[in-house]
């Protein structure tokens, strides 16, 4: 029997087929489209799943269950999504609605949680009893897996670690607070900082990379190529990211801390400075057992895999 | 049958008797004394327990088990204490050693964890499925109880939330980092800030209170009596404490957040400004279900009760 995993984003939605060996057999991504109602959203998701089954010649009867990760706060017990970020839809009875359309039981969770669960079940934190997975994107999302189970908190909204105070009275954040960590340590923040820098220095080496690649990737590429401005920017970024990573370790002491999102492709270039900071600053730097800091292994597939296994 | 709860501190050690209704029947506190070895420490604790039983006319045969909370990182599975803060003793096989001396099974955990567990089992967070208990003292300790169980992390050292970065390049901390939260938001930090203020203003109203009561309590007393300096100092303190409290909520969304330590006696005077900050800054400020912020209910007894129930 196969499982369906669905990863719903603000702009795209991906569905994938997962087999009993936890292998992602194949997937299909569509634009989320301008869905104006819950009904339209459910119709679009069901159509995507139909197209996926057709593409891989899989009859519906081989699907035993489905799971979906959504960008919003979810009550995992009821499968109700309180609010969908980016899609302006509220009180979506997702488990009920999708289950009726797909004809199989559907589990629902937050997208960061689903991705974290994917990494714990078959990725970078495989077999770890506890893991915190940070996704560095426009913001910083966190999925917390403790004792093999996703930790949700009392209202399904645990893990908003991107919105922890990092600099008192610091940069304004869309959440209403000032100085949130994600305004400094997300890859979005790094990209913005680089763009800010280049606005006044359009002829700098970094600006040339930024025009070519764009975003956080450009800063890593430029630093790698020896552009001093990029190296300085990155050093400051690592300081901000590392301080928060050490904080996560002080608080959770998870078996594994996974860094996901686009910048996790940097591998050791990202990990080495963070591990050095942990060796210096961790309260438990001399302990026999310490948190392993690793990069995500499943890339974009984590969300689909995790959702299928919910 | 009765349970023995032991709360080991750097300067004092308390033992208490807990009955089946989770009531603390009585307790006894001794100086920890200048214990130079693990053997001396175990002898002192056993003698205290003997004195306690004698004081309350309880025969040894009525004790079924014991628990101890210690200031240090513990492996709760083995009952081995890696390092005892303040007592310069390492690798104490506490469960084994104390069990041999007391003649009953002994469970061992960190003191902040034991206190948190006490508050969850029979105090301010009674019946809560998840709770984070912050103890505001010289530093800030945290006990994390999730799904009714103490959360330890991979090495028994989870919950060092006092040592999360709060101000980049801020006040130096004994842990080696700079800007740790407890250097701003512990009651010890408030007392130090008040003392600093009064050093240059020995004739101020706050200085008079500080000479009378001393410590953080003096600042609360002076502010209550209308001393403007104390009110300003307290306002700044609440800002620091509240920002970190909101952060704990963003990360854990626990059912209950308990504030313990001496300043928790302030009750609403402490809670009101923190709740106002949470209403303003929480990511989930509009959610139907939110974390309750409360003061500890068991005072000093939490550690003994929690240890007995481990």
Q: Record the tokens describing residue A193, joined without a space.
A: 């900082």
Residue in chain B closest to A166 (alpha carbons) equals: B166
Q: Do B155 and A284 touch (CB under 8 A)?
A: yes
Q: Considering CB atoms only, which of B153, B163, B166 is closest to A130?
A: B153
Question: Cβ contacts (< 8 Å) between A258 and chain B: which residues?
Answer: none
CB contact (8 A) between residue A253 and residue B161: no
Question: Which residues of chain A neighbour B150 with C-beta distances below 8 Å?
Answer: none
Q: Closest approach of chain B CAs to the CA of A54, in angstroms? A: 40
- Is A92 exposed, middle or buried (CB count within 10 Å of its CB: 0-12, 13-18, 19+)? buried
When scoring B252, B282, B290 by the number of chain A Cβ atoms within 10 A, the one with the most, hence best to mutate, is: B252
Residues, chain B, total?
310
Contact (CB, 8 A) for B222 and B266:
no
Tokens of A109: 């969770």
CA atoms within 13 A on the CB side of B120: 30
3-state secondary structure of A219: helix
Please say whether the beta carbons of B307 and B5 come within 8 A.
Answer: yes
Contact assignment for A155 to B82 by CB distance below 8 Å: no
pLDDT value of position A267: 94
Examine the pLDDT at B85 and tell me if it is beyond 80.
Answer: no
pLDDT digits (tens, 9 = 90+) for B12-33: 899 999 999 999 999 999 998 8
In tens, the pLDDT along B123-140 reads 999 999 999 999 998 899
Q: Nearest CA to CA, how far is A270 from chain B (Å)? A: 20
A-B CB pairs within 8 A amount to: 122
pLDDT for A27: 96
Cα→Cα distances B300→B15, B119, B304, Å: 12, 11, 8
B281 touches chain A (CB under 8 A): yes
**C-alpha–C-alpha distance, residues A205 and B155, integer Å:** 45
Find chain B residues with C-beta within 8 A of A290's C-beta: 154-155
Q: What does the alpha-carbon distance between residue A135 and residue B44 come to, in Å, rounded to a whole number? A: 50
Q: Which of B176, B251, B255 faces A154 most closely, judged by CB atoms?
A: B255
Strands B140-146 and B130-136: antiparallel
CA of A245 vs chain B CAs: smallest distance (Å): 10
* pLDDT for res A213: 85
What are B270-300's pLDDT values in tens digits?
Answer: 999 999 999 999 988 988 899 999 999 998 8
Calculate the alpha carbon distances from B131 to B134, B143, B255, B302, B305 in Å: 10, 8, 6, 14, 17
Distances (CA, A) of A162 to A83, A185, A262: 18, 8, 16
| pLDDT at position A299 | 85
Please judge whether B163 and A250 are an interchain contact, meaning their C-beta atoms are less than 8 angstroms apart.
yes
- The nearest alpha carbon in chain B to A175 belongs to B283
Measure CB to CB from residue A251 to each of B82, B161, B240 and give the nearest one. Answer: B161
| Cα distance between residue A240 and residue A233, in whole Å | 11
In angstroms, the CA B306 to CA B145 distance is: 12
Of A158, A159, A252, the CB nearest to B158: A252
Distance between CA atoms of A6 and A171, rounded to whole angstroms? 34
Counting Cα atoms < 13 Å in the Cβ hemisphere of B7 gives 25
The more confidently predicted of residues B74 and A183 is A183
Please count the other Cβ atoms lying within 10 Å of the Cβ belonging to residue A78. Answer: 13
Arithmetic mean of pLDDT over chain B: 94
Say which of B164, B176, B253 has its CB closest to residue A157: B253
Contacts of B151 (CB under 8 A, 6+ apart): A146, B144, B145, B158, B159
Q: Would you say residue B82 has pLDDT above 90?
A: no
> Does residue B87 have a pLDDT over 80?
no
Q: Structural domains in chain A?
A: 2-118+301-309 (3.30.420.40), 127-295 (3.30.420.40)
d(Cα A244, Cα A81) in Å, to the nearest integer? Answer: 29
Q: Do A251 and B151 touch (CB under 8 A)?
A: no
ipTM of the complex: 0.93
Rounded CA-CA distance A301/A20 in Å is 16
Closest CA to A16 of A28, A2, A1, A30: A28
Task: Extract the tokens encoding B205.
Answer: 């109203």
Q: Is B127 helix (H, G, I), strand (E, B) or coil?
A: coil
Which A residues in the span 287-306 are in contact with B, Cβ-Cβ below 8 Å? 287-291
Q: How are strands ordered across the β-sheet holding B149-150? A: B149-150, B140-146, B130-136, B256-260, B292-295
A157 interfaces chain B, CB cutoff of 8 Å: yes
CB contact under 8 A, A154 and B247: no
What is the reported pLDDT for A286? 86
Which chain A residues in 74-103 lie under 8 Å from chain B, judged by CB atoms?
82
Which of A116, A156, A164 has the most B C-beta neighbours within 10 Å, making it the best mutation to test the interface with B? A164
Contacts of A280 in chain B (CB under 8 A): 176
Strands A106-110 and A292-295 come out as unpaired
Q: How far does the CA of residue B250 sit from the closest CA of chain A (Å)?
A: 5
pLDDT at B286: 86
Residue B83: predicted pLDDT: 79
User: Could you tell me how many residues make up chain A?
Assistant: 310
The predicted structure's pLDDT at residue B223: 96
**pLDDT averaged over 10-residue windows placed end to end, chain A, 310 residues:** 93 94 94 89 96 96 96 88 80 96 96 94 95 93 94 93 96 94 96 94 93 91 96 97 98 97 92 97 90 94 94
pTM of the model: 0.93
Phi-psi map region of A123: left, alpha, beta (phi>0 left; psi -120 to 50 alpha): beta
Please give the average per-residue pLDDT across B31-47, as a whole number: 92
Q: How near does any CA of chain B get to the CA of A151, in Å?
A: 8
B226 touches chain A (CB under 8 A): no
pLDDT of B130 reads 97
Query: For B137-187, what is each residue's pLDDT tens digit?
Result: 889 999 999 999 999 999 999 999 999 999 999 999 999 999 999 999 999
């Amino acid at each position: 029997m196969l499982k369906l995993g669905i990863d719903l984003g603000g702009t795209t939605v991906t569905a994938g087929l997962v087999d009993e060996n936890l292998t992602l057999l194949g997937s299909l991504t569509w634009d989320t489209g301008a869905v104006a109602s819950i009904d339209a959203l459910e119709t679009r998701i069901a159509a995507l799943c139909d197209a996926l089954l057709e593409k891989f010649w899989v009859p519906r009867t081989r699907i035993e269950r489905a799971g979906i990760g959504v960008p919003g706060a979810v009550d995992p017990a009821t499968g109700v999504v309180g609010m969908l970020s980016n899609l302006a839809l509220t009180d979506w009875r997702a488990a009920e609605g999708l289950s009726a359309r797909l004809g199989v039981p559907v589990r629902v969770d937050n997208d960061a949680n689903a991705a974290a669960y994917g990494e714990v079940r078959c990725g970078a934190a495989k077999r770890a009893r506890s893991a915190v997975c940070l996704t560095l994107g426009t913001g910083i999302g966190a999925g917390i897996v403790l004792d093999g189970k996703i930790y949700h908190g009392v209202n399904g909204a645990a893990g908003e670690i991107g919105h922890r105070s990092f600099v008192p009275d610091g940069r304004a954040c869309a959440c209403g607070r000032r100085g949130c960590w994600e305004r400094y340590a997300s890859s979005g923040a790094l990209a913005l900082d680089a763009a800010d820098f280049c606005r006044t220095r359009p002829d700098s080496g970094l600006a040339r990379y930024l025009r070519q690649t764009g975003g956080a990737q450009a800063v890593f590429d430029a630093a790698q190529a020896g552009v001093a401005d990029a190296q300085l920017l990155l050093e400051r970024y690592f300081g901000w990211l590392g301080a928060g990573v050490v904080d996560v370790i002080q608080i959770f002491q998870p078996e594994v801390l996974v860094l996901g999102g686009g910048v996790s492709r940097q591998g050791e270039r990202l990990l080495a400075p963070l591990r050095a900071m942990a060796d210096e600053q961790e309260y438990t730097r001399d302990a026999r057992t310490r948190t392993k800091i690793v990069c995500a292994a499943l890339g974009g597939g984590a969300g689909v895999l995790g959702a299928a296994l919910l």
